[in-house]
Amino acid sequence: MSSCNGFEVPRHVAIIMDGNGRWAKARRLPRSEGHRRGFEAARRVVEAASELGIGYLTLYAFSVENWARPSWEVRALMEMLEEFLRSHRSELVEKNIRLEAIGRLTDLPPAVRRELEETREATSKSTGLTVVLALSYGGRVEIVEAARSLAVEIEAGMLRAEEIDETLFRQKLYTAGYPDPDLLIRTSGEKRISNFLLWQIAYTELYVSPTLWPDFGPEEFLAALQDYAQRQRRFGRVLQNG
Ligand code: IPE
Ligand code: IPE
Ligand code: MG
């Protein structure tokens, strides 16, 4: 945790960026316009997180379930993602931000995978904020893949079942090496997790904002962080002075 503006800043913030479609609908615009504005909102929040000294920012950009949306919407999102990565690469490097991705990345169109790989490579030496994009991400499939990978090691005689514990299990998740989120923000008022980071959010503090993602800005991000700073995290224990 680092201290900023007089309050403790969480080490890892995760965001379910929701409400692009409703934002567009309210303005009689195509859903793709909502997504375009959503990317701009993501850029502003990444910048704010970087300036505030946050260590990790995980952004839920596309779920495994989102593939079932109309093909034109999926295509528009993938094209925007590709363009976003290409056009912001040098800015990320300049700002000392590292970009990573989690999810079933092999599901992504080759052009997106290429841009992702190049951005990962270009920013790999950054020591500031790590932005983790969750793409074709599903919490359940992540857990299933981890279980399968352990089973393969057992079959190969490399591991015994008794050796499996939480520490080993989490090393098999896409998020191996990242701390669990301290704070999870969901925009657009929906009070659900939608298959995001199921294992990792066991003790994460939740913050639901009614704001639709394209309207979410640095001020509201700061408000969420300030709200978090007031929370008392107990992790199931009784605190001495609590
Ligand atoms: C979030 O906005 C972006 C993605 C899921 C890709 P939505 O597209 O889900 O917007 P709503 O929920 O329909 O308003
Ligand atoms: C969650 O939003 C996924 C992302 C923000 C990428 P959805 O809009 O897909 O979730 P539901 O359908 O409201 O649960
Ligand atoms: Mg939604």
Asked whether the predicted pLDDT for residue 202 surpasses 70, the reply is: yes
Cα distances (Å, whole numbers) of residue 200 to 53, 138, 169, 193 = 21, 12, 11, 12
Ligand that comes closest to the CA of residue 197: 2
CATH code of the domain containing 109? 3.40.1180.10
Q: Ligand 2 pocket, 40 CB below 6 A?
A: no
In a domain, 240, yes or no: no
Could you report how far apart the first and last alpha carbons of the chain are, in Å?
A: 21
Residues 116-146 have pLDDT tens digits of 999 999 999 999 999 999 999 999 999 999 9
User: How far is the C-alpha of 83 from the C-alpha of 107, rounded, in Å?
Assistant: 18
In a domain, 234, yes or no: no
Show the DSSP H helices in 11-109 as ranges. Answer: 20-26, 31-52, 71-94
Q: Which residue would you say has higher pLDDT here, 240 or 199? A: 199
Q: What pLDDT was estimated at residue 221?
A: 98
In a domain, 7, yes or no: yes
**Count of domains in the chain?**
1
Show the DSSP H helices in 95-182 as ranges. Answer: 110-122, 139-155, 166-170
Q: What pLDDT was estimated at residue 4?
A: 61
In a domain, 167, yes or no: yes
Which amino acids are annotated catalytic?
Answer: 18, 66
Asked whether the predicted pLDDT for residue 5 surpasses 80, the reply is: no
Residues 15-35 have pLDDT tens digits of 999 999 999 999 999 999 999
In a domain, 238, yes or no: no
Q: Give distance in angstroms: CA of 145 to centre of ligand 1.
A: 26
In a domain, 188, yes or no: yes
Structure tokens at 240: 């001495």
Asked whether the predicted pLDDT for residue 3 surpasses 70, the reply is: no
Helix pair angle (71-94, 31-52), 10° resolution: 20
> 44 is in which domain, residue-wise?
2-228
Neighbours of 60 (CB within 10 A): 25
Ligand that comes closest to the CA of residue 135: 2
